[in-house]
Amino acid sequence: MTGAYDDRDGKIWMDGKLVDWRDANVHLLTHALHYASSVFEGERCYNGKIFRGREHSERLRSSASMLDFEIPYTVDEIEAAKYEMLKANGWTDAYVRAIAWRGAGPDMGVSAKRNPVRLAVAGWEWGNYYGDAKFKGAKLDISKWKRPSPETIPCHAKAAGLYMICTMSKHAAEAKGCSDAMMFDYRGYVAEATGANIFFVKDGEVHTPLPDCFLNGLTRQTVLEMLREQQVKVHERHILPEELEGFQQCWLTGTAAEVTPVGQIGDYSFEVGQMVKDISTAYEKLVRA
């Protein structure tokens, strides 16, 4: 499927029914458009099965709760909607995007308690998020923007508004010929990329930032489980910028990114070594099992 995302053939599930792709529209005065009152999930379907789909649906409802609204569909209903959308489009391998938001209604200001909460599920066929970086290692810029303090945002929600600085960071990175950007947190510790968690390897042991002010991704959790099953020692901790020089390997994890090796972050270089190759292969096998 090609073309602009608003002009394609296919079906999108929206508020309880399938609609033609081009008819899946909202009004200009939708609250989410003006005040970012929306949450979403990114998921992948492999061989007809959405990987950790139910956990994604649970997190969607949890994220909405953190933004002070309730999705009017149960986890079971959200799951059914995803598969209904996939079946309608004839897909067994696809990216799935569920999104819930405050729509247009009686309120049009910061407060929107009376506005309806809406839900949609779309999907598309999507290859490697970072293109050939999946094999040779992604090149990352270092963002000037930092992940904010938990006192300023609902940092554990997958909320649209939290991605504004991610978009800005990624645009700046792409202008420099990079695939993405790594971000520090408000304290100056290594945090994550714009849409993926990050891992490092040093002397056969894995180090990954503690997700105390950013999203603890489901792919991140999966990879941690895999590493522990392989009896690899893992350190979840705060990582200082100057430590980057001592790491030998690096990779990103995320639903879109899957497991993608990193070859460079700013002036720091990393090898696409055996551990990241093994984890990437094992992850691919797991999601298609």
Show which residues are catalytic.
158
In Å, what is the CA distance from 169 to each residue of 4, 74, 176, 279? 23, 35, 11, 27
Largest interatomic CA distance in the chain: 59
Contact assessment for residue 262 and residue 289, using Cβ atoms and an 8 Å cutoff: no
Q: Collapsing DSSP states into helix, strand and coil, what is residue 176? A: coil
DSSP assignment, residue 33? Answer: H
| Two structure tokens written together for 289 | 């099992």
| Two structure tokens written together for 192 | 């994550």
CA distance 228 to 207: 13
End-to-end, the C-alpha distance of the chain in Å comes to 26
CA distance 125 to 45: 10
In Å, what is the CA distance from 233 to each residue of 55, 230, 242? 26, 9, 22
Phi first, then psi: give them for residue 62, nearest 5 degrees: -65, -40
Contact assessment for residue 91 and residue 63, using Cβ atoms and an 8 Å cutoff: no
